[in-house]
Copies of this chain bind each other. A is one copy, B any other.
């Protein structure tokens, strides 16, 4: 060992050493660099930069290994503008099962029928306070952090459900939640027929078009769920909470290799992970984009290592958690992976 090479420890068992020579190179950036370039540069750095680089690495390996991708999408991602990215992943065959929330499906459908979310008045308000939210209430506009949605869109959404979705599912009686989201996707897909508005159809439509199942275990907890309940009051329609679990578990059972991509926490995260509790194997790859730190003790911020103790990840699985706003990291992950796969 020399001064110039302080890390190598010849003659030692590397397994017994915590330190190994693997220098940090300094991140450099330049005008016009691609997202793939900046992610490569991240790999030279530490903290979150290194983690995002590792996430892209694992994600690309997952896709190149043709693993079945179980994708968890938590709640505010569609209002935050992540709808097209997820729909395109479905179209590209990069999602085999999607687990998401009723909220995302609600907001996805509102956009599918021509509705729009809006940026908050001040662009990026530092905060909003009681009187602002009172004013929004008066103006009949709902706030999701710095995104606004006029309430009239919920009325248009209700009409869409009553005209295009409920008649079909009613005729089938009690259906699984996955079947319900499929009919919703078909209806969203059909809105656009014959027109050239490519971004409109969205996630549920893309999933319908490409036979990708959408699971939504807590669907009741959303405007979509409320509407389903209201309709169920006066019809023979209802939703079976358990009957689509066989399909998801079969997908997990049959996957030769499986990867989990977890965006945000909550029910989607755990539902993706827990499906391995009834499968013979577990995830071979795991990537988590979250802003919840593990210190809350809650599931949302829990490390993927914790999932390993439960047997949800293979002992040999590569995994990483990136602790940063997923509205920033999801576009980077997908753009960098596309560039690498090209």
- Does A132 reach chain B (CB closer than 8 Å)? yes
Bound CA span A144–B303, Å:
10
Instruction: Give complex CA distance A125, B128 in Å.
Output: 10
Residue of B nearest to A74 (CB): B298
Q: Mark A300-342, 1 if CB is under 8 A from B, else 0.
A: 1011111011110001000111111101110110110011011
Q: List 12 A-B contacts (CB under 8 A).
A: A3-B152, A6-B115, A19-B141, A27-B85, A27-B331, A47-B80, A125-B130, A127-B294, A132-B305, A134-B308, A218-B267, A328-B328
CB within 8 Å of B: which A49-95 residues: 49-52, 54, 74-76, 79-85, 88
B238 x A238 contact (CB < 8 A): no
Task: Verify B325–A47 contact, CB threshold 8 A.
Answer: yes
Decide: A266 and B174 in contact? CB cutoff 8 A: no
Give which listed residue, B121, B130, B324, contacts A126 with CB less than 8 A.
B130
**Min CB–CB distance A101 → chain B (angstroms):** 8
Majority-rule SS of A interface residues: mixed
Name the CB-closest residue of B to A16.
Answer: B135
Please tell me if A291 contacts chain B, counting CB pairs below 8 Å: yes
Complex interface: chain B residues within 8 A of A150 (CB): 6-7, 19
A264 interface hit (Cβ, 8 Å): yes
From the candidates B26, B115, B264, B327, name the one contacting A48 in the complex (CB within 8 A).
Answer: B327
Residues of B within 8 A of A322 (CB): 325
Set B133, B220, B239: member contacting A308, Cβ < 8 A: B133
A18 and B278 within 8 A (CB)? no
Instruction: Identify which of B19, B29, B54, B334 contacts A118 (C-beta below 8 A).
Output: B19
Most buried by B among A33, A44, A46, A323: A46
A160-168, A225-233, A254-262: which lies at the B interface? A225-233
Bound state CA distance, A88 and B27, in angstroms?
11
A127-B128 contact, Cβ under 8 Å, with A298-B75, A300-B300, A325-B48: yes
Say yes or no: A24 contacts B116, CB within 8 Å: yes
* Bound complex: CA A54 to CA B249 (Å): 41
A335, B38: Cβ atoms closer than 8 Å: yes
What residues of chain B lie closer than 8 Å to A292, measured between beta carbons?
Answer: 292, 296, 300
Q: Does A284 contact B (CB under 8 A)?
A: no
